[in-house]
A and B are shown apart, each in its own frame.
Chain A
Amino acid sequence: MTSLAGRATDGLRPAAGGVSELAAMFGAIWRRSLKVRVVSSTVVLSSTVVLVLGMVLQAQLAQRLIENKTQAALLQAENSRILVESELGAVDPTSASLAGRLTTAVDRLTNPDPTGKPPATASAGAYEPVLVDGGGPQGVVGTGQKIGPLEDVPAVLRSAVERGALAHKITTVQRGSTAVTMLAVGMPVASAGRTMQLYLLFPLTAEQRTLNLVQSTLVLGGMVLLVLIAGIASLVTRQVVVPVRQAAEIAERFAHGHLSERILVVGEDDMARLGTSFNEMAASIQRQIRQLEEFGELQRGFTSDVSHELRTPLTTVRMAADLLYESRDKLHPVLHRPTELLVSELDRFEALLADLLEISRLDAGVAELHGETVDVRATVAHAAASVRAVADRAGTPLELDLPATEVLAEIDPRRVERIVRNLLTNALDHGEGRPVQMTVAADSDAVAVLVRDHGIGLQPGQQDLVFTRFWRGDPSRDRRTGGTGLGLSISLEDARLHGGWLQAWGEPGRGSAFRLTLPRSRGTELTGSPLPLGPDNAPGDSPVPGLPGPDPAVPAGPGRQ
């Protein structure tokens, strides 16, 4: 038993090095798996029970074995005493042949009677006799002669026997290199006028063996029992855990958008109730999502219908206005200017309609990005060419600073051209006729387009407002290009669609700068821009340094989709 307990404590002390890792790993498994928790607590509790039971059983068995042995030994001892007394009855205590007689007596004990009489002591097993002459209680001094290993007889036993009592004691003696447990029985032997003590040493080897066998049987049995219990616990837990895991899996799939996932409900137990409630919840969620989807679908359809319904009459009006405008020479002079206004305002109306439709498409999330790998310089140059006429009319120099080598990027060229066109138009509108610069730069991950004007600039806090729909910096200012007020909002959405940034900087009287940063390949997260956003590096001209990273003041980039 002690050895079993020792082994158990050894098992709880793993190598010190990986203890914390192992503990962390076990902790994680413990937290995550209900099954592991149930099975291990079952095993721990059962092993305690098995251990206690085993110990009690073992102790009982050992006690019983010792008792039997002792009884048999005492019986044997009694027989031996009679034998020895009869053998030594006539011995002259002073005879020199005492030693010889003693030996003979002992021999008679170990070797059965030559007459073939079976030893009366078979149940007690083999023993080693020890015969001591002397040491009587009455102070009679014997010769001190002894036969057999007296030194193996414990002193306590000897003193008890010397006082004339029958006594027994369990002791451990050294036999060669092994320790042997023995039952020592001692009694005084009466002989002719002198006291002798006879000790019988019964080795308990057989009993020890029996006990060992019982112990190993108990250990093995206990282990098998534990394995069985673990298996049963695991099986029972499975019955509960498997449906729970299935429910968890289905809930996960549901969360990932598989809205038709339902738990299979079997029977009427607690799992079935869980399944039923889950299914009811799922059905309700699915219904609401369907409604929202239908609403979105409706919204999209509405946008498309409005588009068509407005554009068809607009076609008629447009062509009529064009016809009037072409033949305005034949009209009354009073009608000349109204005809011109009709045509130019129709242009504005069309632009507004197109922008409104575009922004509603972006809002509805149906805008598609048609990415292709193109040279950004060409796209930007196209945009510049399209506003060149406006710039010339306003007398604003438009300066382009493009890289010498091609800048390939995966973009939707139509959208990027629109962004750049919007930025340029905006710069021309607010540039007060001073030069507008456009710079393109690229690094390995991103490409940036910076449009810088030196006009009225922006008031503090307006960096965000410029992207607000229909926001105008100064309502009293004349509008050169008649922008719709949606250009920058659409541009911001277009930049987001690319996973890019559109940021603004400006100061009153020092102009403003708009920076578009786009990843060179789709899906790349932007970490910085190849161009700084801020005032030029003129001396004494940099209260706001160029920010290489995202400007927290500007709600571009990922997040607000």
Chain B
Amino acid sequence: MVRMAARVLVVEDDPASAEMLAIALRQAGFETAVVGEGPRAIPAVRELQPDLVLLDLMLPGMSGIDVCKAIRAESGIPIVMLTAKSDTVDVVLGLESGADDYMVKPPKTQELVARLRARLRRIEADPAEQLTIGDLAIDVPGHQVSREGTPISLTPLEFDLLLALARKPRQVFTREVLLEQVWGYQHAADTRLVNVHVQRLRSKVERDPERPEVVLTVRGVGYKAGTP
């Protein structure tokens, strides 16, 4: 099925806020669907097959964090969290439950749209581009990562993060540069995003996440690709 406009599922319990979000997103050229309760978000994701979920962190019935975990359990769909809490604990908790990005309420419309577009944007790939990072093989056009022929399932964001590192194996990426390249941030913002996602990526691709060989930490600077 080919869709011209990307479809965004808005999960928000406040009706006015949900309606306004839908209006603003439609204005920006997205197709929208709105769900008002957490438990209904999971079947909605299955039925509507949205391209992205915009999730309010505080929902009646089920916390946004649980909804996020539930969606993530069955899909790699991009999830952007909308939260009223900006404390580090809440942000990190949200990111660790599987969200790709977060915005603190109230978001500026332009910024929100830019973030959603960045999540939906796919990195253009040469039809035959094949890369290696550590002992992993990356089939770029096929969006596939495998170790010795066994495929590893990554979310699009994790794939993008791994790809950014693999494309320039000798470069050390600062967190700010990664934020710009992978998340589409214009100005360096919250580097906690990078830390959490590198951890999540490592838990999937490393043989031993405690002693990483694929995504290496360069102390005081950032990250770089492991040598094949």
Contact = CB atoms under 8 A, between A and B. Distances in A.
A313 B17 contact: yes
B127 interface: no
Interface size class of B (residues with CB under 8 A): 20 to 34
A245 interface: no
A315 B105 contact: yes
B85 A308 contact: yes
Contacts of A308: 58, 84-85
B88 A370 contact: yes
Contact of B84 (A312, A316, A318, A323): A312
A314 interface: yes
Contacts of A370: 88
Contacts of A368: 87-89
Nearest to B192: A370
B112 to A, nearest CB: 8
Contacts of A326: 27, 109
B73 interface: no
Given A308-B58, A312-B17, A313-B16, A319 B109 contact: yes
B61 interface: no
Nearest to B24: A319
A520 B108 CA distance: 36
Interface string B72-101: 000000000010110111000000000000
Interface residues of A, number: 21
B141 interface: no
A167 B85 CA distance: 117
A51 to B, nearest CB: 75
B19 to A, nearest CB: 8
A322 B84 contact: no
A316 B109 contact: no
A227 interface: no
A192 to B, nearest CB: 129
B27 A323 contact: yes
A108 interface: no
B84 A320 contact: no
A314 to B, nearest CB: 4
Most buried by A among B85, B104, B106, B188: B106
A262 interface: no
A312 B56 CA distance: 10
A304 interface: yes
A165 interface: no
A497 to B, nearest CB: 14
A69 interface: no
B188 A315 contact: no
Contacts of B84: 307-308, 311-312
Contacts of A316: 14, 16-17, 19-20
Interface in A276-325: 304, 307-308, 311-320, 322-323
13 contacts: A308-B85, A312-B17, A315-B14, A315-B21, A315-B105, A315-B106, A316-B17, A319-B23, A322-B24, A323-B23, A350-B106, A373-B220, A382-B188
Interface of B: 14, 16-17, 19-21, 23-24, 27, 58, 82, 84-85, 87-89, 104-110, 188, 220
Interface of A: 304, 307-308, 311-320, 322-323, 326, 350, 368, 370, 373, 382
